[in-house]
Structure 1
Amino acid sequence: MLPTLVTLLLLLLLLHLSLLPLVTATASPLLNRDFPDPSILHDSSGTYYAFATSLLTGPSPKNIQVASAPSPLGPWTYLDIDPLPNPGSWTSGPGSLTWAPSVVRLSDNSYVMYYSGQLSGNNSAYHCIGAAKSTSSVTGPYTPLSQPIACPISQGGAIDPAGFLDPLTGKRYLVYKVDGNSLGNGGSCGNSVAPQVPTPIVLQPVADDGVTFVGERVTILDRTEEDGPLVEAPDLWFDWGTGTYVLFYSNHCWSEEGYSVNYATSGEVTGVYKRASKGSLVATGDGLGVVAPGGASAVRRVDGDGGGNRTSIVFHGNCGEGRCLFGVDVSIGLS
């Protein structure tokens, strides 16, 4: 039997490791192309789909990008289609800045895509949250609603939506960022010059149709001085291993190396969410080799390679092509 002190040290080492991404080598891009703000969905067919921010350059521009894979860690195949041919009449139209899509499958096997649409006219400096529906295919085409579903212009607009189905209650939610830094006074991401503007991450209950708001939104996280100019890119997840709700988010500025993937946990979906004391989950210089990682989206990985059930996240990071798709398996700690 090991001495008590050695046993304790081993337990502490294992606890420390459980808070880190489960990777043993430097990560390489899963998709060698500009694919920012990815979200991931495991479809009923068994295929994984990733959706990403608009591609406005090249011979085949797209309002939304999409790729597919047999596993969250690939191999990923880029699909040369645009699942959202028209982002809606309330936006600046096709070819405008359409950001950070998230797709959910409803109980009737139809799909809802949430996205950040650029407003038209005098409000083109702002984004709001739109929704579009596809009756049968996860890759669309999606038909947008006639109006945005969340558009707090006086607070800076809204971006980075993500749908969430609570497995404990069956209730649906939409989580997104109120884009306060669009009203900021300059500096890093427009909001590092005092007085700094709040950039709250909010949780909005929605009906079974995925688009009708039911009840009031609640703030579940906001920036602190340690976050720099903002918190953004939320994604909600329920971790069965710890029995907790996990909020993935990014902080600092997306165009700088300080951008990172973080998480906070709560025993209730509405919070309070406690930030992980270990700091960032994935960050520049942490040994994974990804520069400016952010925009994480979680999924349950179920595959036939002996991996069993585990949580994977996909996210973007700097690469020669822009911001490429990366992914790792993770284990969530409670501190």
Structure 2
Amino acid sequence: MRLLVLLLACLAATSCVAPATRTATYQNPVLDTDFPDPAVIRAADGLFYVYATQGGDPNRNIQVARSADLVRWQMIGDALPTKPGWASRTQDFWAPDVREANGIYYLYYSAKPDVALTDKARGLCLAVATARQPQGPFVDSGRPLQCGEGFINIDPFAFDDPATGKRLLYWGSGFGPIKVQELSPDRISFAPGSEPVDLVPVIKTENPAEYQRLVEGAWVIRRGDYYYLFYSGDNCCGPKAHYAAMVARSRSATGPFEIRPRPLYLVVEADEHWNAPGHNSVVSDDAGQDWILYHAVDRRRPRAKLTDDMNTRRIMLLDRLVWRDGWPEVAGKRPSSAAQPAPVVR
């Protein structure tokens, strides 16, 4: 009888995920479709959800996939099926991040406002949407969180500081620094009187080998006495793609952050198989092992269609993080291609 009830409940749901069976090994990619800027959470239902920049066929404003084991992923639609009123005629929905608080899921993302269609001085905006379920549908709060020129206001990442109890939002690029600012208790506006704090600067150089000429894609974790700020640069995609994931650390969530020189600051960079790896998120498995999800371009298939630019098909990879002398990296600082031991998920 209990089995029948479970089957009926599953059929009544929009989709079902099979109970996890132990996966001994996996091999990259874990999601072989264009899925840029992956941001992962483990939701209250015990499943993993990962969100990505717009894409797919048909196009989804915010892509979302679900997994029971971090290895086998199922695309489950559009997390933001209805565009916000202030961005109803544009199609630039970038780099989402999702956090849960008190049963509500908050989706932070970037979007181009409609006014930018006629005013070229107007750039992308930070935005927030909410839902009662991790898969959505998320509904925008009704107004941008912050707008500005160019692509300064991109790649938001929300973080609750366990030391201070403050709700923080990291964001940034546009050839400027990664920033952080305190959010209000409502999580959809900045705290009154708060100001952005610059954290990771760009390195102004003509050296094409320098990744930190542009910085973006912040992701923060706390481990021991340190906060680790992952970030990426400098050119995510296209014919001149040159991209890697890096890391800085601090004893405070709002800095200052220690940044080591290259190559020590690298978490993962390109090799002969994978180009332009970066824009990562981090998650722990049930054994306490940290894993990094990130996008990269398969050099053997660098675009989805022949009419696309080179290095625009960014697919999702998974790798174990190794800690060396208090700093994280992927083994060898290169993406894995061979079979690897899988995450432990019970």
How far is the alpha carbon of 1:150 from its aligned partner?
1.8
Distance in 1, matches of 2:72 and 2:27, equals: 14
Aligned to 1:51: 51
2:15 is aligned to none
Q: Report if aligned partners of 2:123, 2:148 keep a CA contact under 8 Å in 1.
A: no
Residue in structure 2 matching 1:97, options 85, 92, 114: 92
SS in 1 for 2:255: coil
Shift of 1:239: 1.6
Output aligned runs, 1:134-173, within 5 Å. 134=131, 136-153=132-149, 156-173=151-168
CA shift digits 1:169-212 (9 cap, x unpaired): 332111100424xxxxxxxxxxxxxxxxxx11000111232212
CA distance in 2, matches of 1:49, 1:310: 18
Aligned equivalent of 1:247? 229
Residue identity over aligned pairs, in percent, reads 28
Residue 309 of structure 1 corresponds to: 288
CA distance in 2 between counterparts of 1:209 and 1:312 reads: 30
CA contact (8 A) 1:228 1:253 kept: no
1:77 aligns with 2:68: no
Please give the TM-score of this superposition, normalised by the length of structure 1: 0.77
Matches within 5 A, 1:1-335: 28-55=28-55, 58=57, 60-72=58-70, 74-79=71-76, 81-93=77-89, 96-106=91-101, 108-120=102-114, 121-123=117-119, 126-134=123-131, 136-153=132-149, 156-180=151-175, 199-214=176-191, 215-224=194-203, 225=205, 226-227=210-211, 229-240=213-224, 243-255=225-237, 256-277=240-261, 278-285=264-271, 289-302=273-286, 308-319=287-298, 320=301, 321=304, 322-332=313-323, 333-334=325-326
Deviation at 1:119, TM superposition (A): 2.0
Give 1:228 shift: 5.1
C-alpha change, 1:208 and 1:311, in structure 2 (3 Å) is farther
> What's the CA shift for 1:248?
0.5
CA distance change for structure 1 residues 69 and 281 in 2, over 3 Å: closer, same or farther?
same
Separation in structure 2 between the aligned mates of residue 179 and residue 87 of structure 1, nearest angstrom: 24
Q: Matches of 2:26 and 2:258 in 1, distance apart? A: 29
Unaligned runs of 5+ in 1: 1-24, 181-198, 303-307
* Paired letter, 2:257: Y
- SS of the residue 2:118 aligns to: helix
Aligned equivalent of 1:191? none
Specify the code of the residue in structure 1 equivalent to 2:230.
F
Residues 257, 266 of structure 1: alpha-carbon distance in 2 compared, 3 angstrom cutoff: same
Matched AA of 1:206? L
Question: What SS does the aligned partner of 1:159 have?
Answer: coil
The AA in structure 1 aligned to 2:37 is: D
Whether contact under 8 Å (2:123, 2:147) holds in the other structure is no
Separation in 1 of the partners of 2:186 and 2:283? 21
The separation in 1 between residues aligned to 2:180 and 2:294, in whole angstroms, is 21
CA contact (8 A) 2:124 2:148 kept: no
Contact 1:258/1:283, CA 8 A, preserved across alignment: no
Q: In structure 2, what is the equivalent of residue 9 of structure 1? A: none
Report the Cα distance in structure 1 between the residues aligned to 2:269 and 2:151, rounded to whole angstroms: 27
TM-score (norm 2): 0.74
Contact 1:248 1:262 in 2 (8 A): yes
Paired with 1:109 and 1:276, the residues of 2 have a C-alpha distance of 39
Separation (CA, whole Å) in 2 of partners of 1:103 and 1:145: 14
Alpha-carbon distance between aligned partners in 1 of 2:274 and 2:165, rounded to the nearest angstrom:
36
Query: Deviation digits for residues 124-161 of structure 1, max 9, x if unmatched?
Result: 67211111011x211111110221102133x7541111
Say which SS state the counterpart of residue 186 (structure 2) adopts: coil
Q: Which residue of 2 aligns with 1:188?
A: none
Alignment correspondent of 1:18: none
Tell me how far 1:163 sits from its aligned partner. Answer: 1.0
Deviation at 1:122, TM superposition (A): 2.3
Structure 1 residues 249 and 33, CA gap change in structure 2 (3 angstroms): same
